Amino acid sequence: MAVVVGRFAFWRACRVHAVDVDRACRVTYLCSRQHVVPDKVSPGPGPSVAAARRYSSDSAKEELRVRFLDGEDAGIVVLGINRPKAKNSISKNLVKLMFEAVENIKKNNKVRSVILSSLVPGVFCAGADLKERAKMHQSEVGPFVAKARTLITELGNLPVPTIAAIDGAALGGGLEMALACDIRIASDTAKMGLVETKLAIIPGAGGTQRLPRVIGVSLAKELIFAAKVVDGKEARGLGLVNHSVEQNDSGDAAYLRALELAREINPQGPIAVRMAKLAINQGIEVDLSTGLAIEEACYAQVIPTKDRLEGLAAFKEKRTPHYRGE
């Protein structure tokens, strides 16, 4: 056993430098593709911000509501999970619908930010649909978890900023979805935790990797080992969420704060925001020198854009810039 461990450590030591150098080279290619998407993808008519957010239907197609906001909020997409009878738990159908939504967003260069929220009062996502899971054959469980893990990875890889609005319980896979988002906002009454060890399993959709990167290794171990659940205020203190807001009578305080933040992001240069996200996400996983090379590659992509020239012109003319993502 010691020999095997020693060989593995030696292999990793030899490989890590090559991986980091290769990553810096590949990021140049990724940067060049981040904003090369079809010129127009019509989202179809979508309700305005004032439209009702609560739905009661639990039919297959209604389990995820995708709303493209309009007017001054054009560019903001709201993904609303809507499985009231199952506490928004993650089912095969929900995974399918979310995959479709993520793929459509990736192809639409008009999208500037995404809010992941719940349309069910008091719950964000209760994790895996255990009733559905109990009906699965043992051979089906592994592939389903792998697909859910891939979905959450794709959510994290969206090129635009993603904000999780946690207005209720976010447990297990529900918290893992939120962890894949760039920013998390929770109501003070929300409950969050990776509670899989209570079921004699471990987080299987990225929780063991993302939580330590967000709050630190020791705190993540404590929460996961003990299956601890924290509220919004505690989560803010741990750094698990960016903001904790007092819940309102409508039960959507986190969503409203997320919408405010999306509105702050909206006016900024969209290509610049995408490149900033790519530089941060890729750079945080490597050493500083490689990270700086990644930043340089991403910066190179904004130099030839019309938006950069518009920003300079607006500054000179003392007016608000009008960015088009070009």
From-to residues of CATH 1.10.12.10 in the chain? 270-317
pLDDT digits (tens, 9 = 90+) for 5-51: 444 443 444 444 444 545 554 555 455 555 543 333 334 434 434 34
The torsion region of residue 169 among left (phi > 0), alpha (psi -120 to 50) and beta comes to beta
- pLDDT above 70 covers what percent of the chain? 82
N-terminal to C-terminal alpha carbon distance within the chain: 56
- Residues forming the active site: 128, 173, 176, 196
Under CATH, to which class is 270-317 assigned?
mainly alpha
Q: What is the pLDDT of residue 58?
A: 53
Q: Domain 64-266 belongs to what architecture?
A: Alpha-Beta Complex (3.90)
Q: Span 38-65, mean pLDDT? A: 53
**Nearest-CA neighbor of 257 among 55, 52, 115, 71?**
115
The total of other beta-carbon atoms located within 10 Å of residue 299's CB is: 14
For residue 96, count CB atoms less than 10 angstroms from its CB and return exposed for 0-12, middle for 13-18, buried for 19 or more: middle
Statement: residue 127 has pLDDT above 90: no
Instruction: Grade residue 84 by pLDDT with cuts at 50, 70 and 90.
Output: very high
Computed on alpha carbons and rounded to an integer, the radius of gyration of the chain in Å comes to 21
Instruction: Grade residue 287 by pLDDT with cuts at 50, 70 and 90.
Output: very high
From-to residues of CATH 3.90.226.10 in the chain? 64-266
- Tracing tokens 């030696």 back to the chain, one arrives at 10
Per DSSP, what are the bridge partners of residue 123? 169
Q: What is the pLDDT of residue 136?
A: 79
Beta strands in 6-161 (DSSP E): 64-68, 76-81, 113-118, 123-125
Instruction: Grade residue 325 by pLDDT with cuts at 50, 70 and 90.
Output: confident
Q: Span 238-252, mean pLDDT? A: 95
Statement: residue 309 has pLDDT above 50: yes
